[in-house]
Amino acid sequence: MTQRVATRRSMRRLLAATLVAATALAAPAAQAAEKLTLLLDWYVNPDHAPLLVAQEKGYFAEEGLEVEMIAPADPSDPPKLVAAGRADLAITYQPQLIAMVHEGLPLKRVSTLVATPLNSIITLADGPVKTLADLKGRRIGYSVAGFEDALLGRMLASAGLTIDDVTLINVNFALAPSVMSGQVDAVIGAYRNVELVQMALEGRPGRAFLVEEHGVPPYDELVVAARADKAADPRFAAFNRALEKGVQFLINHPDQSWELYIKGRPEIADEGNRKSLEATLPRFAHSPAALDYGRWRNFAAFMHEAGLIDTPKPVEDYAQAWR
């Protein structure tokens, strides 16, 4: 009898120890996901496709992240909110990020989303402007003064022209319509993956003069920024790993990716968005975490020469390098 009781007690102790061990082993898997708030630069569009694919494929979850993506009411707000500590990450643009750092905002790039310029000068394909030199004496529409003026000035200079050789007209954000209607002869600030698609679908094909082919140093169009003092947060390294998987899947499986991109978002399931996504595919950063020091130095130097910033800072002041 005594032996049986002792045996039962031993079995209970063994079972209890086994349960404790099993619970300890299972604990990491049961931990709550780390939450990240990502503020988009605009409403959901094809530039965000790798993020949506990573979300739908569960890549963020695999990295232990729960990423909430929020479209802003005002596109200028996201970086400011991150700088103020009211969100973790914001999508912005390399030129704007550099300018904001010089304005004193504590921001750093932690990831690249679109790794080539999208900006361009666009005219009608069947119009009189066949080369940049043909812009002399013509009207050029723009949306935002400052950076676009700098791009335009450098591009015109590559054709032997200056800003004084053209007439600038603020067309707000009606870039493609202003060209198609004849209000202006060309526009600066038009995206080759958006306005060109729009014009083609409306039967008025456009011609694009690409900024990086006409004197402007190449730059990253869309980047992800964090507050500078938090840029080395390991959650952002995990974010980059998941985003890279999203990009890889998008490039390898474009048709499946389209379905993931529009899943639960019927408002973007149209031909324009599909064509725009196809045009954006070769532009996504294959390695979102990678940082090209020379590229950032060259573009900061260009912004300095254009009078957009004071003396350029070290690249480390603009961007986080991941080791």
Name the CATH superfamily for 119-213: Periplasmic binding protein-like II (3.40.190.10)
Task: Report the pLDDT value the prediction gives residue 22, as an integer from 0 to 100.
Answer: 37
Question: 292, exposed or middle or buried, with CB in 10 Å at 0-12, 13-18, 19+?
Answer: middle
Task: Report the pLDDT value the prediction gives residue 155, as an integer from 0 to 100.
Answer: 97
SS3 at position 226: strand
Task: Report the pLDDT value the prediction gives residue 173, as an integer from 0 to 100.
Answer: 85
Tell me yes or no: is domain 34-115+219-317 CATH 3.50.50.60. Answer: no
**C-alpha distances in Å from residue 143, one per residue of 171, 174, 178, 224, 246:** 6, 8, 11, 23, 32
**208 in Cβ contact with 120 (< 8 Å):** yes
SS3 at position 156: helix
What number of other Cβ atoms are within 10 A of residue 176's Cβ? 24
Q: What is the pTM of this model?
A: 0.88
Domain map (residue ranges) of the chain = 34-115+219-317, 119-213
Q: What angle do CA 206, 280, 181 make, to 5 degrees?
A: 25
Domains 34-115+219-317 and 119-213 in one fold: yes
What are the tokens at 146? 């400052």
Task: Report the pLDDT value the prediction gives residue 249, as an integer from 0 to 100.
Answer: 98
Task: Report the pLDDT value the prediction gives residue 145, as an integer from 0 to 100.
Answer: 82
pLDDT (tens digit, 0 to 9) for every residue of the chain, 323 residues total? 334 334 334 433 433 333 334 334 434 444 688 999 999 999 999 999 999 999 999 999 999 999 999 999 998 999 999 999 999 999 999 999 999 999 999 999 999 999 999 999 999 999 999 999 999 999 999 998 889 999 999 999 999 999 999 999 999 889 999 999 999 999 999 999 999 999 999 999 999 999 999 999 999 999 999 999 999 999 999 999 999 999 999 999 999 999 999 999 999 999 999 999 999 999 999 999 999 999 999 999 999 999 999 999 999 999 999 97
Question: 149, exposed or middle or buried, with CB in 10 Å at 0-12, 13-18, 19+?
Answer: middle
